[in-house]
Amino acid sequence: MFTVRTPRVVAARRLHRRRDRDETGRFLAEGPQAVREALRTGVVTELFATAEAARRYPELAQDASLVDDSAMQALADTMQPQGLVAVCRQRDVPLATVLSGGPRLIAVCVDIRDPGNAGTVLRTADAAGATAVIFAGDAVDPYNGKAVRSSAGSLFHVSVVRARDTAGTVAALRAAGVQVLAADGYGDSDLFDLDEALSMPTAWLFGSEAHGLPKDLDADRRVRVPLYGGAESLNLAAAAAVCLYSSAKAMRGA
Amino acid sequence: MFTVRTPRVVAARRLHRRRDRDETGRFLAEGPQAVREALRTGVVTELFATAEAARRYPELAQDASLVDDSAMQALADTMQPQGLVAVCRQRDVPLATVLSGGPRLIAVCVDIRDPGNAGTVLRTADAAGATAVIFAGDAVDPYNGKAVRSSAGSLFHVSVVRARDTAGTVAALRAAGVQVLAADGYGDSDLFDLDEALSMPTAWLFGSEAHGLPKDLDADRRVRVPLYGGAESLNLAAAAAVCLYSSAKAMRGA
């Protein structure tokens, strides 16, 4: 009854590769938390569960195809899969859709290559109340397994936009009345001097840890998080948290 | 002239193991940035460099023992060592030393097991102007190679304290007039309602991502970072950044 390599398992496990994700518009979500959020969002096209997981999470696994441990190992990206893997439809939307909704807070990952960082920015942006996260330029695939895991479900809460053209994205944001703030350790605006400006609709640009942001982006301001000690910089996750929460606080008049 | 396994190389590479670090009170710092900070702090007892690194960083490597690539691979913790590894004296100080200096801001890592998180909290605490980082309870060794790397030099900027007794540490902090704020997703104080309280001398407690903080700690307040979107929590690095920078800002009256 349990088979390792049904054609559906074989097809699903190919989604570990970006090429197959891009071609099919599908991706994998793994573990009870992500699967719960995926089901709630209505993007699950197929669900695989081990018999043990089906017993443990009956509310999630009712429509699951049962697979054995070896098939689950093949489907899962982690060493200790929790017995649940969902095939999901990718859920990105065009930038125009986000802009038409009058967004207050947006995070833009520019050329971020590390999937853990991408997932962490998704999670932090969601927590701070952002409407959307835009993956711009040569950014990592947000449907990469590690990005999905690091997002801790937030990939399913915010609007995801993918945009190759970073300069065009910045221009579209500004044309829609969203101020664009570039997080930049060498920026000439101090984050903590900006309180009033932070209450306006804002898109924060975050660059890669290795290379920062492209120099030629036409942002409204380049903003640095002040460094009070001996550190030369913050890591990406920390800088994004401080910037996004500064905006969230200012927008609520707190 | 270059030998792989001089007794000194063999002794130094043992410092990858916690037991040997604990016994000798030494640890390894790797790469130009960490070695520069270690030299500046005066804790380097021995320095190894490849001939290439010695040419590239003459100001760092003047007293280095030259080793070949294979010895460097054995000494280094990363796949692409940059040719410089320093043996350093561990630099923790007693809590009493920190308290006698009238600290304004302290981060306390309670039972944090992940060395990357430990290093990131060191880096963020340093950036926010904290005087010290305390590793309390069953926390990871801050001299672990990955923690040293993630700290990006900040291990050499702040005072490092190690304290097995978490409850005793909390009591000592409070007795010294430092308020103790426990970062807790279920805390009853909202971070953004605390502005004035945040300007007082503060120690922030951060628990592990898996288990949070022990329930019985006698903190002054349990404080939650508000969650405005669908995320159930922030990751440790993001929560620490928001908390520490909220204090830093309040202390500067910004």
- Closest alpha carbon within chain B to A153: B231
List of chain A residues whose C-beta atoms are within 8 Å of the C-beta of residue B155: none
CA distance B100 to chain A (A): 19
Interatomic CA distance for residues A146 and A142, integer angstroms: 9
CB contacts under 8 A, A 5-34 vs B, are none
Residue B246 DSSP SS3: helix
Contact at CB, B234 and A124, closer than 8 angstroms = yes
Cα separation of B214 and B181, whole Å? 13
Q: Are B106 and B133 in contact (CB under 8 A)?
A: yes
Using alpha carbons, list the distances in angstroms from residue B124 to A70, A190, A231: 41, 17, 8
ipTM: 0.94
Q: Does A158 touch chain B (CB under 8 A)?
A: yes
**Tens-digit pLDDT profile for residues A164-197:** 999 999 999 999 999 999 999 999 999 999 978 9
Closest C-alpha to A202, from A224, A178, A222, A172: A178
Q: What is the pLDDT of residues A116-172, one digit of tens each?
A: 999 999 999 999 999 999 999 999 999 999 999 999 999 999 999 999 999 999 999
* Inter-chain CB proximity B123 and A153 less than 8 Å: no
Tokens of B180: 């103790």
φ/ψ of A73, rounded to 5, equals: -60, -40
pLDDT of B1 reads: 46
Domain B7-89 fold is 60s Ribosomal Protein L30; Chain: A; (3.30.1330)
B24, containing H or E segment? helix B18-24
Which residue matches tokens 């439809």? A89
First to last CA, chain A: 58
Query: Within chain B, which residues score under 70 in pLDDT?
Result: 1-4, 254
**Has residue A3 got a pLDDT over 70?**
no
In single-letter form, the type of residue at position A149 comes to: R
pLDDT tens for A53-83 read 999 999 999 889 999 998 999 998 887 778 9
pLDDT tens column, A93-110: 999 999 999 999 999 999
Q: Which residues have a Cβ under 8 Å from the Cβ of A160 and sit 6 or more positions away?
A: A91, A92, A93, A122, A132, A133, A135, A142
Whole-number pLDDT of residue A128: 98
- Alpha-carbon distances, residue B105 vs B99, B127, B148, B246 (angstroms): 11, 11, 21, 11
Interface check for B233 against chain A (CB to CB < 8 A): the answer is yes
Our CA dihedral for A231, B177, B240, A158, rounded to 10 degrees, sits at -130
- Residue B235: count of CB within 10 angstroms of its CB: 22
Note the pLDDT of residue B77: 84
Per-residue pLDDT, A1: 46
Min CA distance, B139 vs chain A (Å)?
A: 21
Decide: B118 and B109 in contact? Cβ < 8 Å: yes
Residue contact B237–A234, C-beta within 8 A: no
Q: How many Å lie between the alpha carbon of A238 and the closest alpha carbon of chain B? A: 5
Q: Give the DSSP letter string of B58-102.
A: HHHHTTPEE--HHHHHHH-SSSS--SEEEEEE--B--HHHHHHT-
Going from N- to C-terminal start, the domains of chain A cover 7-89, 95-251
Q: Let me know if domain A95-251 sits in CATH 3.40.1280.10.
A: yes
Q: Between chain A and chain B, how many beta carbons pairs sit less than 8 Å apart?
A: 128
CB atoms within 10 A of CB A193: 11
**Closest CA of chain B from A70, distance in Å:** 27
Contacts of B238 in chain A (CB under 8 A): 120, 123-124, 127, 237-238, 240-241
The per-residue pLDDT for A80 is 74
pLDDT of residue A60: 94
A-chain residues near B233 (CB < 8 A): 127, 152
User: What is the model's pLDDT at position B254?
Assistant: 58
B157 to chain A, any CB pair closer than 8 A? The answer is yes
Pick from A130, A227, A234: CB nearest B229? A130
Q: What are phi and psi of A91, to 5 degrees?
A: -125, 25
Q: Which long-range contacts (CB under 8 A, 24 or more apart) does A66-72 make?
A: A66/A1, A66/A2, A67/A2, A67/A3, A67/A4, A67/A6, A67/A9, A68/A2, A68/A3, A68/A4, A70/A4, A71/A2, A71/A3, A71/A4, A71/A5, A71/A6, A71/A9, A72/A48
